[in-house]
Amino acid sequence: MKFLVKLLASGLGTGYAPVAPGTVGSALATVIIYFCAGWWSPLPALGISILTFLLGVACCSRAEKYWGHDNRRMVIDEMAGMCLAVSFCEVGLKTLVPAFFIFRLFDIIKPPPASSAERLPSGWGVMTDDMVAGAYTVVLMWVLTRWM
């Protein structure tokens, strides 16, 4: 069970990247989404985001026992946030690339209420700030795709 918790919390191991593990986890999510383009639409995308969020809360809450709170190896939050970020986009390089960079920017700067959400207890805090970053990205991508 310990191995599975660490595997999932670390975004299938991407959290062990020596440099920018959150970016690597977000990149893995982006690649997976790209290959799911044939069936990617808002309803399944939101379902995947929510399921990944809930799985992440459980896994990160348990992984904190091994790594401490919001350890850099925990990147399932970036994966859930990235899924949310492009949940209303048509999947293609034209949307995934800007969404990736916008999501990473929001995740790094943590505009309110993301900064407050990060202080929630246990896995809730780990996961919620990235979902806020994903929600901000959804809105900005919606605006941008109207001009693309």
User: Rounded mean pLDDT of the chain?
Assistant: 96
pLDDT at site 104: 98
Long-range pairs for 34-40: beta carbons < 8 A, 24 or more residues apart = 34/91, 34/93, 34/96, 36/91, 37/91, 37/92, 40/86, 40/91
33, 96 Cβ separation under 8 angstroms: yes
59, 80 Cβ separation under 8 angstroms: no
In this structure, what token pair is assigned to residue 125? Answer: 């805090």
Q: Is the pLDDT of residue 63 over 90?
A: yes
Q: What is the mean pLDDT of residues 16-24?
A: 98
At 85-103, the pLDDT tens digits run: 999 999 999 999 999 999 9
pLDDT at site 148: 67
